Chain A
Amino acid sequence: SSELTQDPAVSVALGQTVRITCQGDSLRSYYASWYQKKPGQAPVLVLYGNNDRPSGIPDRFSGSSSGNTVSLIITGAQAEDEADYHCSSRDSSGYAVVFGGGTKLTVL
Chain B
Amino acid sequence: QVQLVQSGPEVKKPGASVKVSCKASGDTFTTYGFSWVRQAPGQGLEWMGWISPYNGNTNYAQKFQGRVTMTTDTSTSTVYMELRSLTSDDTAVYCCAGLTPRTMISHSYNIWGQGTMVTVSS
Contacts and interface: CB of A to CB of B under 8 A. Distances in A.
B47 A86 contact: no
B53 interface: no
Interface string A21-52: 00000000011110101000011110011001
Contact of A31 (B44, B105, B115): B105
B113 A42 contact: yes
A88 B113 contact: no
Contacts of B112: 42-44
Contacts of A90: 107
A64 B86 CA distance: 40
Contact of B95 (A33, A42, A49, A88): A42
Contact of A35 (B35, B45, B46, B62): B45
Contact of B44 (A30, A33, A48, A100): A100
Closest 3 A-B residue pairs measured CB to CB? A48-B108, A31-B106, A42-B112
Given A43-B45, A45-B108, A88-B108, 18 more contacts: A30-B107, A31-B106, A35-B109, A37-B45, A42-B112, A43-B97, A44-B112, A45-B109, A48-B110, A88-B47, A89-B107, A90-B107, A96-B47, A96-B59, A96-B61, A99-B45, A100-B44, A102-B45
